[in-house]
Amino acid sequence: MFRAKITGISGYVPEYILNNEELSTIVDTNDEWIVTRTGIKERRILKEGGTSVMCVKAIEELLAKTNTKPEEVDLVVVTTVTPDWPVPATANIICQKLGMTKAWGFDTQAACSGFIFTLEAVSKMVESGKYKKAILVGADKMSSITNYTDRNTCILFGDGAGAIMLEPTTDMEYGVIDCQCYMDGSGIENLNVKRGRSEYPLTKDTIDLNEQYIYQDGKKVFVKAVKGMADVVEEVMKRNHLSSENLNWLVPHQANKRIIDATADRAGLSEDKVMLNIQKFGNTTNATIPLCLWDYEKKLKKGDNLILCAFGAGYTWGAVYVKWGI
Ligand code: COA
């Protein structure tokens, strides 16, 4: 019997900062509205290259921190809604760029819940004992599917990548302990990319309508996100006898500070137990959770109880219980 233990964490955000003031010169918005409604002050934008550029930077740091040679890695899984190419997989490109000659891997897509869903899948693979060094990277270049004339969405998103190393351990105390994921398809019309897909390939007309970009009915998604995240966190906490006292950290997907606050309130958690970086990175979709872990790494202590949780398009939602073991 093995447990999948997180043995390393890393992250990368591009240098370029797009702050609310600059955004206000592009669309009809302002810093006060964005901060009050979302908690976001600025976001990072990757100026050149695709999502794999950020994945490679994050994984380089991860390999150095965990003292791992590229050829020791046996599994690389990328969760993203903005792959470098539709075909082939971004994992393939990363393996080639980093010289991971013994690894195999693939990409997954579960919108903003991708990191949670894929952590469940990869940890099960690691628990089998077959994979000794597995990398999960959550990354998105959201600027590539963001319409900077649409103030409903362009204020929200940013670019970034976060990675973790997972290794099997016989010490059952630390690692990925429990997970609950859901999806129901009820929100497909409310958060999506309408065109440039198998049913409706891109045409000149759809490009003129900006339908290759992300669309969101924010109000509808907001209501579902608050309930979905809070419910699933409560479910996983109850099942694992976690309370506001013995839970050390909530690591929520960073879509809107008001959704995060509502989830923390339902769990009875004070602000100092909630990881937050939405103010500086915005919603980086698949990267928010590992970027939070990376940001708060110095504050994490061995034995801390963490609940990671997310809500995203589809709808998709889920929570993972991790006992920190580094
Ligand atoms: N700047 C200034 N004003 C804006 C604005 C902007 N960027 N966007 C909208 N407004 C205006 C609207 O026109 C509206 O004005 P009106 O009352 O005169 O009609 C008002 O502000 C309220 O707009 P609304 O869309 O109701 O705002 P909101 O409080 O719902 O916030 C979101 C919008 C997108 C921030 C919020 O709905 C949200 O975060 N949704 C969920 C996101 C999420 O969880 N996604 C899933 C995971 S990715």
Statement: residue 37 has pLDDT above 90? yes
3-class DSSP string for the chain: CCEEEEEEEEEECCCEEEEHHHHCCCCCCCHHHHHHHHCCCEEEECCCCCHHHHHHHHHHHHHHHCCCCHHHCCEEEEECCCCCCCCCCHHHHHHHHHCCCCCEEEEECCHHHHHHHHHHHHHHHHHCCCCCCEEEEEEEEHHHHCCCCCCCCCCCECEEEEEEEEEEECCCCCEEEEEEEEECCCCCCCEEECCCCCCCCCCHHHHHCCCCCEEECHHHHHHHHHHHHHHHHHHHHHHCCCCCCCCCEEEECCCCHHHHHHHHHHCCCCHHHECCCHHHHCECHHHHHHHHHHHCHHHCCCCCEEEEEEEECCCEEEEEEEECCC
- In CATH, which superfamily holds the domain spanning 3-173? Thiolase/Chalcone synthase (3.40.47.10)
Instruction: Tell whether ligand 1 has an atom less than 6 A from the beta carbon of residue 283.
Output: yes
Statement: residue 278 has pLDDT above 90? yes
Percent of the chain with pLDDT over 70: 100
Each residue's pLDDT tens digit, 156-193: 999 999 999 999 999 999 999 999 999 999 999 999 99
Model's pTM, two decimal places? 0.97
Which residue, by CA, sits nearest to atom 36 of ligand 1?
A: 218
Statement: residue 269 has pLDDT above 90? yes
**29 alpha carbon to ligand 1 midpoint, in Å?**
11
Residues with a known catalytic role: 112, 253, 283
Q: State the Cα angle at 58 between 52 and 141, rounded to 5°.
A: 40
Give me the pLDDT at residue 208, please.
86
Which residue, by CA, sits nearest to atom 29 of ligand 1?
A: 37
Cα gap 232→311, rounded to integer Å: 10
Of 34, 312, 318, 80, the closest CA to residue 190 belongs to 312
Pinpoint the residues of the chain covered by CATH 3.40.47.10.
3-173, 176-323
Which residue, by CA, sits nearest to atom 28 of ligand 1?
A: 219
Instruction: Tell whether ligand 1 has an atom less than 6 A from the beta carbon of residue 112.
Output: yes
Cα gap 163→100, rounded to integer Å: 15
Statement: residue 72 has pLDDT above 90? yes
Are 54 and 286 a contacting pair, CB within 8 Å?
A: no
Instruction: Tell whether ligand 1 has an atom less than 6 A from the beta carbon of residue 221.
Output: yes
Statement: residue 204 has pLDDT above 90? no
Instruction: Tell whether ligand 1 has an atom less than 6 A from the beta carbon of residue 213.
Output: no
The correct CATH number of 176-323 out of 3.90.1150.10, 3.40.47.10, 3.40.50.10470, 3.10.129.10 is 3.40.47.10
Q: Give the mutation target among 147, 213, 219, 286 for probing the ligand 1 site: most ligand atoms within 8 A of CB.
A: 219
* Chain centroid to CA 189: 22
Give me the pLDDT at residue 247, please.
98
What average pLDDT does the structure give for the chain?
A: 97
Statement: residue 118 has pLDDT above 90? yes
Give me the pLDDT at residue 139, please.
99
Statement: residue 205 has pLDDT above 90? no
Cα gap 78→115, rounded to integer Å: 9
Give me the pLDDT at residue 89, please.
98
Are 145 and 193 a contacting pair, CB within 8 Å?
A: yes
**177 alpha carbon to ligand 1 midpoint, in Å?**
36
